[in-house]
Structures are given as C-alpha cells and as structure tokens.
Structure 1
Amino acid sequence: MAKASTLDMLIDLARNDTDEAARQLAQLHKARQDAEQQLQALHDYRKDYAERLQQVSKMGLTASNYHNFRQFIATLDEAISQQNKILEQMDARLQKGRDSWQAEKRRLSSFETLQTRQMRQQALHDARREQRMNDEISARGYRGMGH
C-alpha cells in the first residue's frame, strides 16, 4: 500500500499547489482591479481639470496660467499612458497566473484520476480474492459432505 500513501502525498502536495496558485491568481486579480481604478481616477481627474480649464478660459486667462493648465494636463496624459502600460503588464501576469492555476488543477486532477483507478483496481482485486476464498470454502464444504 506504499503506492497509495505516496499517491495521497502527491495529491496533498498538488492540492496545496493548486490552492496557492488560486491565492496568487486572486491577488493578481485584485491588483489589476486596483490599477484599473487608479486609471479611472486619472481619467476622471483629467476630465475635471480639462473642464476647469474651459471654465477659466471663458473668464479670461493669462498665457502663463494657460500654459500651466496645459502642462498639467500633459502630465496627466503621461500618467494615464503609464497606467495603461501597467495594466498591460498586469494583464500578462494575470494570464500567466491563470495558466499556472489551470496547470496545477490539471496536475491535481491527474493524480486524483490515478487514485480512483488504483482504488477500483484494488476493489476488483479484493472482490476476486474474496470470490476465490468463497469458492474454496464452498468446495471444501462440498468435499466434506462426502461427494
């Protein structure tokens, strides 16, 4: 039965690896959501700032103040661009995390399939052995009756 205990140990390890991959995937998903919220906040802030520039421009604005507004909006545009790059990187990491989790699940499933197959074979072996024992007992009883 050493095979069964080894297989049980492999299943436990695979289950732990699958759980760890799932935890990492959840962390990656949360980090990606946070990054997406940051991007949305940057978009909202840029929109608000652009609207403020329009309102202030209607009342009159010095060239210097206009330049400062435009420069700040350009800085926000750059931050938005950087955040988009971060999201792309996070999407790639998230996909790797999904792939890793799926690979671990397949590995666990393979071990569980082996265990099920092994248990079926053992049950069949036990049933055959029991049948042979019953046949022997019946044969002895039959012979013992003087036949």
Structure 2
Amino acid sequence: MAKNSALTTLIDLTKDKTNDVAKQLQNLTSSRQSAHEQLETLHTYRQDYAQRLQQAMTTGLSAANYHNFRQFIATLDEAISQQNKVVAQIDANVELRKKEWVDQKRQLSSYETLLSRQERQAAQRENRIEQRTNDELSMNLFRRAHHSH
C-alpha cells in the first residue's frame, strides 16, 4: 500500500505541475495575442504615416517637416522591430510550454497506468487469497462431513 500512496502522491504532484504549465501556457497565449495586436497597430500607424508623407510630398513639404516624417517613420520601424522580437520570444516560450505540457501529460498517463496496474494486481492477489480461503473452508467442511460418517 505504501507504493500506491507514493504513486498517488506522484500523480497528484504531476497533476499540479500539469495544471501550472497549462495556466502558464494560457497566460502566454494571451500575451501572444496582445503582442500581435500591438504589432498590427504599429504596422497600421506606419502605413498611415507613410501615406501621409506621400500626400504631403504631392502638395509640397518643407525639409523640416519631411525630416520629422522620416524620423517618426524610422521610430515606428524600430518599434516594429522590437515588437517582432517580443512576439518571437513569446512564440518560443509558447512552444516550450506546449512541449512541457505534453511531457507532463505523458508522465501523468504513465503514473496512472502504473497505479492502475498495481491496483489490478492487488485485486488479483486478494481474489487468490479469498479463493484459497474458500477452498480451505470447503475442504475442511468436506473432511468433517466425511469423518462423521
């Protein structure tokens, strides 16, 4: 029974770890969504300012305003680059957590299979003991019945 208790403890710990990893994965997925939305917003801003620059150039634009537009677009490009790195890092973390979750689920399944096997073997032992006890009782009753004749 100590083996079952230890195995049950392992199963409980593995379930807890699996749930923790699942929560981390859920949080990372939410972060990934948010980071992608921020990236899309930055792309939209950049496209909008590039169009504004084109329009301003057709109607006439001072050198200072042209420089300001270009500088702001360059700043947006840098922000897009940084956000791409953030998204890539989150994506890498999501993949790591997915693998960790799959590994935890596999380990949990292994422990549960082992516990099930142990319980089945214990039940078989109990059945054999009960059968032996019943056989002995039957044999004793049979002997008593034949001894009395």
Following superposition of structure 1 onto structure 2, how do residues 1-147 of structure 1 map, counting pairs within 5 Å?
1-146=1-146
Residue ranges of structure 2 left out of the alignment (5+ in a row): none
Give, as a single letter, the amino acid of the residue that structure 1 aligns with 2:63: A
Please report how far the alpha carbon of residue 58 of structure 1 lies from its aligned counterpart in structure 2 after TM superposition.
Answer: 2.2
User: What secondary structure, in the 3-state scheme, does the structure 1 residue paired with 2:80 have?
Assistant: helix
In the TM superposition, structure 1's runs of 4+ consecutive aligned residues that sit over 4 Å from their partners are none
Structure 1 residue 56: Cα displacement: 2.0
- Unmatched runs of 5 consecutive residues or more in structure 1: none
Identity %: 55
Q: CA RMSD in A?
A: 1.2
Q: Which amino acid aligns with 1:15?
A: K
Shift of 1:63: 1.5
Does 51-60 or 68-77 show the bigger shift? 51-60
SS at match of 1:67: helix
TM-score where L is the length of structure 1: 0.94
Instruction: Give the distance between the partners of 2:75 and 2:2, measured in 1 at CA.
Output: 65
Task: Name the amino acid aligned to 2:92.
Answer: A
| TM-score normalised by L of structure 2 | 0.92
- Distance in 2 (alpha carbons) for counterparts of 1:131 and 1:112: 28
**Aligned-residue offset at 1:9:** 1.1
| In structure 2, distance between residues paired with 1:92 and 1:16 | 23
